[in-house]
A = this chain, B = another copy of it.
Amino acid sequence: MNLKKLIKRDKKSKIILFVLDGVGDLPVKDGRTPLELANTPNLDELAKASATGLHIPVDYGITPGSGPGHLGIFGYEPLKLEIGRGILEALGVGLEVKETDIAIRGNFATVKYENGKPIVIDRRAGRIPTEENRRLINYLSQNIKKIDEAEVILCSGKEHRFSLILRFPHKVSSLAEKINDTDPQGTGKEPYEPKGENEEAERVAEIARKFINQVAELLKNETKANYVLLRGFSVKPDIEPFPEKFGLKSACIAVYPMYKGLARLVGMDVITVEGEAIKDEIDTLKRYYENYDFFFIHIKKTDSFGEDGNYAGKVKVIEEFDSFLSEVLSLKPDVIAITGDHSTPCAMKSHSWHPVPVLIYSPYCLGGLSKRFTERECLKGELGIFPSHKLIQLLLAHSEKLTKFGA
């Protein structure tokens, strides 16, 4: 089916999609999940009047990373559209990625030299503190600005991790990323040289080799971080922009770089939020409400507390979110959707495969099936269990943006 043909482009609509990162969970106390423990009077009311269900981000039993989790929610099939590791790392540290770029994940490492050859003795340079990382990246950035025709862009990550972008004066093709990782995946080994599988990739690999050599020279007096390993060479994926694909002028309201990056990757406008609280995000929504058809609003802390195993914290974020619902309702959008990108059970302290509760509030719901917005109550809902990438179709339908299929 060509969904684009069904979209009523002249129909104005407002859709607000809240993504409470990692909101789905498992029982944490008295057999209840954080959503069940939370006191959420507004969410409860909304759930009763909404279409509810659960969605599966990637596939049965498959735990998604943040990339696939969000791509699904944005209406792209995660199994058909993989984002390179280098790209995700760059987005995570807040770098913008262009069609002219190769993005690469970097690790600081410790090597010793035998007969002039580097031998890895620590693949993570003793997990140097992030502060130390910043000092080194700053130093390298000042000394390596360009290699041949490629601009060199560096950004610190956490501990030993950093992101590297090689920006060319021309568009690069998907062939350009066909370069091996240099990490030998063990100590006592010589790092691999990056080599390209084709002519275009080999040109990139050559610059990468020069980069590694220049870094080794610049860091030769460091005791720990005296070398770099490069992985996940990747180009910006060829994605049909979300606004075009779904006929929605779209904005992202998020605080963390990764999610702003993912939204930018699919062509949404990323609005700057002043502050980091949910309140600040809601204020931003109100301020820009007239300017867009679709708002993706990302709330990070549910996931962070899940990853920490802190269920009380997770409950609190859910309750905080609940307190802003009436403000959102007073905007009278056509559709409000609330969900997560995946589950992050406190008991697992990690993402998981469990289906994610979802609620769609619009005048065109059956409703009356779920008493609350929880994992178990949403199981009773009219949406059933469905693949994440179908969510956007449902949002379009509930906002009357789709015409019928066939006569």
| Distance of A344 from chain B, by nearest CB (Å) | 11
Q: With a CB–CB cut-off of 8 A, which chain B residues contact A398?
A: 61
User: Can you list, as one digit per residue, whether each of A378-405 has a CB less than 8 Å from chain B (1) or not (0)?
Assistant: 0111101110001001111110001111
**In the complex, chain B residues whose CB is within 8 Å of the CB of A351:** 404
> Which residues from B are CB-within-8-Å of A367?
27, 31
- Judge if A45 is at the interface, Cβ distance under 8 Å: no
With an 8 A cutoff between CB atoms, is A79 at the interface? yes
A17 within 8 A of B: no
The answer to whether the Cβ of A352 comes within 8 Å of any Cβ in the partner chain is yes
Shortest Cβ distance from residue A259 to the other chain B in the assembled complex, whole angstroms: 13
Q: Are B366 and A406 in contact (CB under 8 A)?
A: no
Contacts of A231-245 to chain B: CB distance below 8 A: none
User: B364 and A26: CB pair below 8 A?
Assistant: yes
Residues B369 and A376 in contact, CB atoms below 8 Å apart: yes
Stretch touching chain B among A65-73, A126-134, A163-171: A65-73
**Which of B85, B353, B406 has a CB less than 8 Å from the CB of A68?**
B406
Q: Does A88 contact B (CB under 8 A)?
A: yes
Q: Which residues of chain B are near A85, meaning CB under 8 Å?
A: 407
The CA-CA distance from A87 to B60 in the complex, in Å, is 31
Task: Among B83, B375, B406, point to the contact of A64 (Cβ < 8 A).
Answer: B406
The number of chain A residues touching the other chain, given as a range, is 35 or more
Is the CB–CB distance between B62 and A6 below 8 Å? yes
- Contact pattern, A 87-115, Cβ under 8 Å of B = 1, otherwise 0: 01100000000000000000000000000
**Cβ of A6: which chain B residues have Cβ within 8 Å of it?**
62
Query: CB-CB contacts of A329-368 with B at 8 A, as 1s and 0s?
Result: 0000000000000000101101111110000000111111
**What residue in chain B is nearest A353 (Cβ atoms)?**
B397
Partner of A60, one of B65, B89, B386, B407: B386
Q: List A residues at the B interface (Cβ < 8 Å).
A: 1, 6, 26-27, 31, 33, 54, 58-68, 78-79, 82-83, 85, 88-89, 345, 347-348, 350-355, 363-369, 375-376, 379-382, 384-386, 390, 393-398, 402-407
* Other A-B pairs, 19, CB within 8 Å; known A60-B397, A347-B363: A1-B58, A26-B365, A26-B366, A27-B366, A58-B406, A60-B393, A62-B404, A62-B405, A63-B402, A63-B403, A65-B404, A66-B407, A67-B407, A78-B405, A348-B364, A355-B384, A366-B376, A368-B376, A369-B379
